[in-house]
C-alpha cells in the first residue's frame, strides 16, 4: 500500500512539487473539480483538484460527501484563496462509497441536538474534531502532571461492593435472570447465589481504594470511568463519566486545594499551548452562538480570554459559612429570585447559588470549604463544632464559571474512633468496610484528596454548553445509544 501523508503535515509544508497520497473523507465536491478532503489530523481540509475532462464520469459521480477516498497527485502551491497548498490529482480511488442521498451529514451547519442523535458520525464534523482533540490533550496533560510529580497511577475496580459516596445512587451488577431471582426465606434477594456471591454495583468513585494505596505509595491518582444512577437530566450530569481522583498522604485541606488549583491551571495551560487551532475554532463558534443571545446573557470574555483569566487569577477561597452570609444578603435572595431561597445555615447549595458566587459576586473560580457535615460524605475530616455548636467537615468544592462544581474533595477522617462514630450515625455497615478501616487501624496518617469531573473540565475548556457534547457516547437517563 502506498504510504499516505497526513493532511496536517501537508498544510504545514513548503516542500512543493512532489507526489503525495492523501486518504480521508470527502467533505465537499464543488464544480466537478474541487474536492475538500478531511482525514481528521486537523480541522482544515486539503483541496484536491481533479481534471474532470479526463476523468471517467462514473468515477466523478462517486465523489460524494462522506465517501472515503485515496488521492494521489502533485502537491503544489495553491493559486486560489483560502489555502496554501493543493493536490493536482493524478490518481483517485474510492475506498468507500457514501450515498449522498442517505448520508446524514450535509455540508451545512447542523444543530448539536441533531448531531447527538447521530453521535456515530459526528466525529466527522469540525466541532467534534476540535472537542475530542482537546479531550485527548487534557487527558494526556493530567497524566503528565501527576507523572512529573511522582504520583502512581492506580487502576481501581469498576465493579465494587461498596458505596463510596454513601449516596446510594448505584447501578447494580448481577448475572441473575431478572425473571427468576433467587430469594431467601424472608423474601429478600439471595445474593449469595449471584456471580460474586454478594450484591455488587458499578463504582461511583475510586476514592476508597485510592486511600488504601496512598497509605503505601504516599501519592496516587485514579483516572477512570465512574457511574451514578442519579436521575438528573441536566447539562452537567452524566450517568457514566470519567473522574480523576488523587489521594495524598500527609496533605491537609490547604495542600489539597493548592494541588487542585495547580492541576486545573496546568491542564488548561497545556490545552492553550497545544490545541491552538481547535480552541480558535471553538472560540469563533462560541462567539457566533453568543450573538444569538440577548446582550445581558452574553459572556464578557471570549473562550481564550476566559481560559487565560482562569490562569492569571488566584481562586477565591472562603468557607461555606461565609458563602451563606453572602448569599443571604444577595440581591437575588432578597428579591426572591432564587428558586431555593437561602434562609438557614445548613442548606445544600444549588447550582443557582454556586453560579451567583462565581459569575456575579467574585467573577472568578471559587473554592468553598468547611461544609456542614450533614450534607457531606462520611469520610470527611470532622472539625471541632463552632461556638454555636454547628458541625462542619474539612471539605472543599471548586466552583467554575458556567459549570458550577468541577472538583469535590476533602481532608479525610484519619481518626478511627471519629470515623467509626460517623459511619454508625450514617448507618454505613462497619463490618463490610473493615478493609477500609484497616488503614486507620494500622499506621493511620492525615491525608486528603479530591475528584475532578473530567467532562466538566472538558466542558469548561471547549466552551461547549452541554455535557453530552464532550463525551463520545453519553449515557444519561433513558439514553444508552451506540
Ligand atoms: O463530588 P463528588 O461526588 O466526589 C467524589 O466522588 C469524591 N469521592 C471525590 C474524591 O474526593 N476523591 O464528585 C467529584 C466530581 C464533581 O465535582 C463533578 O465534577 C464530577 O465529579 N461529577 C460528575 N460529572 C458528571 N456527571 C455526574 N453525574 C457527576 N457527578 C459528579
Ligand atoms: Mg460533590
| Proximal ligand: closest to the CA of 209 | 1
Q: 305: part of which helix (H) or strand (E)?
A: helix 303-312
Whole-angstrom distance, CA of residue 319 vs CA of residue 219 = 26
- Atom 30, ligand 1: which residue's CA is nearest? 237
Predicted pLDDT at 1: 58
- Atom 22, ligand 1: which residue's CA is nearest? 453
Hey, which of 135, 235, 241 would you mutate to test ligand 1's pocket, going by the most ligand atoms within 8 Å of its Cβ? 241
Whole-angstrom distance, CA of residue 117 vs CA of residue 130 = 19
Predicted pLDDT at 2: 65
C-alpha 245 – ligand 2 centre gap (Å): 12
Predicted pLDDT at 165: 84
Which strand ranges, in their side-by-side order, compose the sheet holding 240-249? Answer: 152-153, 219-227, 240-249, 447-453, 404-411, 392-400, 366-372, 316-319
Whole-angstrom distance, CA of residue 178 vs CA of residue 170 = 17
Whole-angstrom distance, CA of residue 58 vs CA of residue 56 = 5
Report the atom number in ligand 1 closest to the C-alpha of 456: 19
C-alpha 76 – ligand 1 centre gap (Å): 51
Q: Which residue has the cell 479525610?
A: 412
C-alpha 228 – ligand 1 centre gap (Å): 9
Distances in Å between the Cα of 192 and the Cα atoms of 187, 270, 273, 435, 455 are 14, 49, 53, 20, 37
Predicted pLDDT at 107: 85
pLDDT along the chain (482 residues), means of 10: 88 94 97 97 96 95 98 92 88 97 92 96 97 98 98 98 85 96 96 97 97 98 97 95 98 98 98 98 95 85 95 97 97 95 94 94 97 97 95 98 96 98 94 96 98 98 97 97 94
Q: With a threshold of 0.85, does the pTM exceed it?
A: yes
The answer to whether the CB of 474 is under 6 A from ligand 1 is no
C-alpha 409 – ligand 2 centre gap (Å): 7
| Proximal ligand: closest to the CA of 230 | 1
Pairing verdict, β 46-49 and 240-249: unpaired
Hey, which of 449, 453, 469 would you mutate to test ligand 1's pocket, going by the most ligand atoms within 8 Å of its Cβ? 453
C-alpha 363 – ligand 2 centre gap (Å): 21
- Atom 25, ligand 1: which residue's CA is nearest? 237
Hey, which of 224, 379, 451 would you mutate to test ligand 1's pocket, going by the most ligand atoms within 8 Å of its Cβ? 451
Report the atom number in ligand 1 closest to the C-alpha of 457: 19
70: phi then psi, degrees, rounded to nearest 5: -120, 125
244 neighbors 454 (Cβ within 8 angstroms): yes
Give Cα 64 distance to the centre of its chain: 34
Report the atom number in ligand 1 closest to the C-alpha of 409: 11
Hey, which of 225, 408, 411, 455 would you mutate to test ligand 1's pocket, going by the most ligand atoms within 8 Å of its Cβ? 408
Amino acid at each position: 500500500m502506498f504510504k499516505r501523508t497526513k493532511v496536517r503535515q501537508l498544510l504545514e509544508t513548503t516542500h512543493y512539487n512532489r507526489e503525495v497520497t492523501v486518504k480521508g473523507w470527502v467533505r465537499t465536491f464543488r464544480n466537478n473539480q474541487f474536492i475538500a478532503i478531511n482525514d481528521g489530523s486537523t480541522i482544515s481540509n486539503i483541496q484536491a483538484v481533479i481534471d474532470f475532462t479526463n476523468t471517467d464520469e462514473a468515477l466523478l459521480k462517486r465523489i460524494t460527501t462522506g465517501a472515503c477516498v485515496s488521492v494521489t497527485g502533485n502537491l503544489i502551491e495553491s493559486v486560489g484563496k483560502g489555502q496554501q497548498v493543493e493536490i493536482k490529482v493524478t490518481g483517485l480511488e474510492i475506498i468507500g462509497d457514501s450515498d449522498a442521498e442517505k448520508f446524514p451529514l450535509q455540508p451545512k451547519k447542523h444543530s448539536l441536538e441533531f448531531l447527538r442523535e447521530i453521535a456515530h458520525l459526528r466525529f466527522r464534523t469540525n466541532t467534534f474534531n476540535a472537542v475530542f482533540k482537546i479531550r485527548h490533550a487534557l487527558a494526556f496533560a493530567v497524566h503528565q502532571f501527576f507523572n512529573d510529580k511522582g504520583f502512581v497511577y492506580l487502576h481501581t475496580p469498576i465493579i465494587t461492593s461498596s458505596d463510596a459516596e454513601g449516596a446510594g445512587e448505584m447501578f447494580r451488577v448481577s448475572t441473575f435472570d431478572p425473571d427468576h431471582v433467587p430469594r431467601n426465606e424472608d423474601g429478600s434477594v439471595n445474593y449469595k447465589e449471584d456471580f460474586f456471591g454478594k450484591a455488587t454495583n458499578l463504582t461511583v468513585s475510586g476514592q476508597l481504594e485510592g486511600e488504601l494505596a496512598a497509605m503505601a505509595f504516599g501519592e496516587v491518582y485514579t483516572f477512570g470511568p465512574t457511574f451514578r444512577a442519579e436521575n438528573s437530566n441536566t447539562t452537567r450530569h452524566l450517568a457514566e463519566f470519567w473522574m480523576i481522583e488523587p489521594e495524598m498522604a500527609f496533605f491537609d485541606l490547604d495542600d489539597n486545594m493548592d494541588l487542585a488549583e495547580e492541576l486545573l491551571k496546568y491542564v488548561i495551560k497545556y490545552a492553550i499551548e497545544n490545541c491552538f487551532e481547535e480552541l480558535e475554532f471553538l472560540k469563533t463558534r462560541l462567539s457566533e452562538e453568543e450573538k444569538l443571545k440577548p446582550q445581558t446573557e452574553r459572556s464578557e470574555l471570549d473562550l481564550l480570554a476566559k481560559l487565560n483569566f482562569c490562569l492569571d487569577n488566584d481562586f477565591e477561597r472562603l468557607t461555606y459559612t461565609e458563602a451563606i452570609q453572602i448569599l443571604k444578603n444577595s440581591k437575588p435572595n432578597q428579591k426572591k429570585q432564587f428558586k431555593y431561597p437561602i434562609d438557614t445555615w445548613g442548606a445544600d447549595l444549588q447550582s443557582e447559588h454556586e453560579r451567583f458566587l462565581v459569575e456575579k459576586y467574585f467573577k472568578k473560580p471559587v473554592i468553598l470549604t468547611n461544609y456542614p457535615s450533614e450534607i457531606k460524605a462520611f469520610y470527611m475530616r470532622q472539625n471541632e463544632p463552632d461556638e454555636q455548636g454547628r458541625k462542619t467537615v474539612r471539605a472543599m468544592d471548586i466552583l467554575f464559571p458556567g459549570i458550577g462544581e468541577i472538583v469535590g474533595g476533602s481532608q479525610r477522617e484519619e481518626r478511627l474512633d471519629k470515623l467509626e462514630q460517623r459511619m454508625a450515625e450514617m448507618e454505613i455497615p462497619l463490618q463490610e468496610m473493615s478493609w477500609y478501616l484497616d488503614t486507620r487501624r494500622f499506621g493511620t496518617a492525615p491525608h486528603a484528596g479530591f475528584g475532578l469531573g473530567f467532562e466538566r473540565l472538558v466542558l469548561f475548556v471547549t466552551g461547549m454548553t452541554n455535557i453530552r457534547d464532550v463525551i463520545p457516547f453519553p449515557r444519561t437517563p433513558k439514553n444508552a445509544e451506540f
